[in-house]
Structure 1
Amino acid sequence: MKLNYSIGTDQEIERIHEESLKILSEVGVVFHCEEAIDIFRNYGAKVENDIVYIDKKMVDEALASVPRTFDWYGRDGDKITVGDGKTKNVPAYGPIYVLKEGRYEKASHEHLVNFHKLHETSKIMDVSNPNVIDVSYIPPDIREKYRLGVALEYCTKPMMGLVEGKEVAEESLEMMRRFYGVEHLSDKIIAAGLIDTMGPMRLSTSMAEALITYSRSGQALIICSGQTLGITAPQSMAGTFILGNAMILASIVLSQIVRPGTPVVYCGKFDSADMRLSSGAAYGGIESLWSAATSARMARYYHVPLHTGAGNTDSKLMDYQAGAETFMNLFSAYALDTDCLVHACGTLDSFNSIGYEKYILDEEKIESLEHLKQGYEVNEKTVMFDSIKKTGPSGQHFERTQKSYRTDFIMPKLSIRDNHNSWIQAGCPSSESLATEVWKKRLDEYVKPDFNKEQRSILEDLLPEKYR
């Protein structure tokens, strides 16, 4: 027996698609990138005053060429397959603050290294990410090289890429190619670029340039809708989602014109909204479940891989709100069979912060959700009628632990389940205090990977001397 949920009728999903096509053909899209506009113009799209109009045929052709699955390779040749039915967990992206043992600190080199070590030693995390925390403590002119260098130094898992414009995208992909020992970038996918559409129907210069570069290089894209209710989108869930969906489709079309078969992961809106806030987004709102479920329906409608949900909360503390909202968002992703889960562990404060203890606790929650997703068996062995009959109507089933118990139930290490007296005798531990012990132990036991001469040379080129 397995758990799943969905939302909307087939007619409503088709309506979202049809309205998105109307926006693309009648309202149009602004690409703040001359190369992107030229690509559309040369492809035959209508372009007026730098506004690109995209017709249904272009959308249909683009969607038909997006692969249903793709392999994503790590440093040592190991790979994961996106779209194979198993959720791939991806690290956080860009938090500014770090919550550690109940106190906040600004992002630093030490924290960046520590979270890379946690990713690398995690049984839950499938991917590494140079963008896991803010690195504004590094001068802007070397910031992107630095973040890539640190990730390459500590991580071997498949990696997210850098997308701060054409030059950064090209140089970072070339450095990764050399570091991985790949002859041609088109030989295998070694990076996925996160493209955020942001404005109503606009794609920024850096995002458009990165999208073109990754597509041309045969690398993967995760295209996210950045529309915000009441700010860059209408004040309704339907209007906001449709606008975001239209912008994702426009970005997919560009990627497939540049290189048909470019792998794309669809990421529609997965947050709620609160117009009392300057940001407008509220990731802990119950409407996030609507957003995530609609994203899943649209990705399945388009037959493309899905990213939705996040291990995130609007709370700034490790409190009831944090636990409830994080579980809601993680549950949503797993119940919807998402292919990629970006921001899988550790985020809080509406993505502005990441916490050590929360990272560990989110890992265990994801482990429990993976267990939930597997479901349980109802068969001749598991109904255990012989045991029930032997025990009788008033007996007890107190016996040696059965295989069925170990299969059907997991035993979390960080949840406090002892009776009150046992808990007192153990010193009144909390889930948070147990998580602190875990992350410290993981960091102590981390072993840095080996490097060949070429890799050491690349790291020396990428990293400032202070951080080598």
Structure 2
Amino acid sequence: MSFATLLTQEQVERIHEASLEILEEVGLKVRYEPARELFRKHGCSVDGERVRFPREVTEKYRKMVPSSFTFHARDPKFDKTIPQDSPVIITASSAPDIIDPVTGHERRAESGDIARIAHLINELPGYDVFSISTLADDAPADQFTVSRLYPSMKYCLKPLRVTTTNMKDTLSVMEMAYMVAGGRDAYMERPFLTHHYCPVVSPLTMDHLSTENVMFFAEQGLPVYPTIVPNAGLTSPMSMAGTLAQGNAEFLSGLLLMQMVKEGTPTIYATLGTVADMRTGAYTSGGIECGMLHMAFAQLAHFYDVPCGGYIGLTNSKVNDAQAGYETGMSAIGGLLSGMDMFNIGGLIDALKTFDFAKAVIDDEVALMMKRMKRGVHFNDDELGLPLIKEIGPGGSFITAKHTISRMKTEAVMTKIADRDARTIWEKKGALDIHARAMKKARDVMSTNTAPLISAEVDAKLREKFPGLVAGDLTPIA
């Protein structure tokens, strides 16, 4: 399949060369001492916290990355490998707030909300991976991440994407995962958690805790990947070309870290590049420039033969309105056409700060449309249908033809949220707008197939192992 391009091949190669120059002459501030030692051992120049990467070192190790990445699930039928299975649709994650599905007012998210969301994502067909959508304000101080992971595993069998804080947090998360899997060995055979971090903080700084976690999971041979997040005008140059050069250098530094830990470690060229609104400094994840940067980063990923994706299809809108729709759709389709494999797209509004159930349901339908577009046009003699066209002839009808009947449910997306009825029929059904229809769908999902996906025996062991663990129960939306 051919992809749309924003950059010429010459421009892609120039950005690559610029990134090599940045890494060699400017380098990164690396705060984590074991990472500095790892870089030194593999031929990099280390001066205090500053690490510089010789061109030949970068070129050697960046070629070691596999060309695919697999998201494993507790149920193998949900496994996804990119780029083969792209587009893989993942929820956007870690919002502190939620639009309460009963009152419609914004509030802090809690672990019970995660249970609801996990079940919703498990049931909606457009989503492939659940990246835990919100934080949990009710989490005990020493159980920050397990309070999010527990309700996620309790109600979702699809691959889970998680982020931990420090190493103590990481080990607690892994202990919980081992228990659910039936032991460490069983988990290692099917590692259903994919770990995600932002070890490189723009501009050009490798932090401590995220870097430690990336090194830990790469060494263990468990799925992990980093995301780079340059923000033009604030943490990268106020130009797309400069932001691409710096962001690409930051990606390469993370790639080198992982390959130096363990050669052949899979990763994803994952991005959330933005151009700041310099009138206020606003974080413009809904801007068209966010989509354009993702398109360009996808070209760079193809240049390196690495699967790619990122946070795209986002919105700055505070409500689930037309702005939310066009900001989501425009950048998402740009990313799809440019060959992105993974999309963190579902459910968040207000520049990643708030989860909205209706938005998640609508984004599921957007995801199904994206998957349909990726399938493209099937092209053979039967699809071309020349004998049928000749048989029906001028003025005829194709509606009863076997050719039509056999394709009526597969050739086009059968939308359930987007309304296509005549106005009179729409009015008879209550004249509901798309937000109301999506909330009705969310409520319907919340009332069916809501049994926990962890056995009572395992659940009891988890609660014994983690005293004070949140209830993590799913309460249907009234």
Q: TM-score, normalised by structure 1?
A: 0.91
Partners of 2:419 and 2:90 lie apart in 1 by 28
CA contact (8 A) 2:27 2:50 kept: yes
1:5 corresponding residue in structure 2: 4
Q: Within 2, Cα distance between the matches of 1:185 and 1:48?
A: 40
Matches within 5 A, 1:25-424: 25-77=24-76, 79-99=79-99, 100=101, 102-129=104-131, 131-181=132-182, 182-183=184-185, 187-196=189-198, 197-279=200-282, 281-342=283-344, 344-397=345-398, 399=400, 402-424=405-427
- Aligned partners of 1:373, 1:55: CA distance in 2, in Å? 39
| CA-CA distance at 1:61 after TM superposition | 2.5
SS at match of 1:301: helix
1:456 and 2:456 matched? no
- Which one-letter code corresponds to 1:247 in the other structure? E
Q: Indicate the residue corresponding to 2:476 in structure 1.
A: none
In structure 1, the residue corresponding to 2:201 is in which secondary structure? Answer: coil
One-letter code aligned to 2:293:
S
Asked whether the equivalents of residues 189 and 218 of structure 1 are also in contact (C-alpha less than 8 Å), the reply is no
Contact 1:346 1:359 in 2 (8 A): yes
Aligned-partner Cα distance in 2 for 1:74–1:62: 29
Secondary structure of 2:194 counterpart? strand
Alpha-carbon shift at residue 221 of structure 1 (Å)? 2.4
What's the counterpart of residue 429 of structure 2?
426
Q: CA deviation at 1:411?
A: 2.3
Quick one: distance in 2 between partners of 1:189 and 1:261? Answer: 17
Q: Distance between the aligned counterparts of 1:387 and 1:144, measured in 2?
A: 59
In the superposition, relative to structure 1, how do residues 77 and 367 fare at CA in structure 2: closer, same or farther (>3 Å)? closer
Q: Is the 8 A contact 2:368 2:413 kept in 1?
A: no
How far has the Cα of 1:49 moved from its partner? Answer: 1.9
CA gap 1:35/1:171 in 2 versus in 1, 3 angstroms: farther
Q: Secondary structure at the match of 2:225?
A: strand
Question: Is 413-422 or 388-397 further displaced after alignment?
Answer: 388-397
2:36 touches 2:49 (CA, 8 Å); kept in 1?
Answer: yes
Bigger mean CA deviation after superposition, 444-453 or 108-117: 444-453
Rounded Cα–Cα distance in structure 2 between residues aligned with 1:38 and 1:391:
74
Following superposition, the deviation at residue 290 of structure 1 comes to 1.9
Q: 2:215 is paired with a residue of what secondary structure?
A: helix
Helix, strand or coil for the counterpart of 2:374? helix
Quote the residue 1:438 is aligned against. 441
Equivalent position amino acid for 1:81 in 2: T
Q: Scaled by the length of structure 2, what TM-score is found?
A: 0.90
Distance 1:457 1:434 in 2: 40
Once the two structures are superposed, residues 414-449 of structure 1 have per-residue CA deviations (whole angstroms, 9 ceiling, x without a partner) of 112112222222221222222111111111112211
1:381 match: secondary structure: helix
User: For residues 274 and 392 of structure 1, what CA distance do their matches in structure 2 show?
Assistant: 56
Verify the 8 A CA contact 1:98 1:355 in the aligned structure 2: yes
Cα separation, partners in 2 of 1:140 and 1:336, compared to 1, 3 Å: farther
| 2-structure distance, mates of 1:29, 1:185 | 35
Separation in 2, partners of 1:393, 1:153: 58
Secondary structure in 2 aligned to 1:407?
coil
Give the paired residue count.
464
Aligned amino acid, residue 134 of structure 1: L
**Cα distance, 1:18 vs. partner?**
0.8
Identical-pair percentage: 24
Q: Distance in 2 between matches of 1:114 and 1:237?
A: 39
Tell me if the contact between 2:238 and 2:275 (Cα under 8 Å) persists in the aligned partners. no
**Alpha-carbon separation, structure 2, partners of 1:83 and 1:117:** 26
2 CA distance for matches of 1:391 and 1:252? 58
Ranges in structure 2 where 5+ consecutive residues have no aligned partner: 473-478
Mean CA deviation greater in 120-129 or 166-175: 166-175
The residue identity in structure 1 corresponding to 2:410 is T
Please state how far the C-alpha of 1:310 moved relative to its aligned partner. 2.4
Query: Alpha-carbon deviation of 1:134?
Result: 1.7
Deviations 1:315-374 (A, max 9, x none): 1112111110111132123223322222x2111111111110110011011111211221
CA distance, structure 2, for counterparts of residue 184 and residue 377 of structure 1: 41
Distance 1:411 1:44 in 2: 56
1:269/1:295 contact within 8 Å kept: no
Where do 5+ consecutive residues of structure 1 fail to align?
A: none
Residues in 2 aligned to 1:244 and 1:68: alpha-carbon distance in whole angstroms: 20
Counterpart amino acid of residue 311 in structure 1 = G
Find the aligned partners of 2:387 and 2:155 in 1 and give their Cα distance. Answer: 54
Could you tell me whether the CA contact under 8 Å between 1:159 and 1:190 is conserved in 2? yes
Amino acid aligned to 2:25 = E
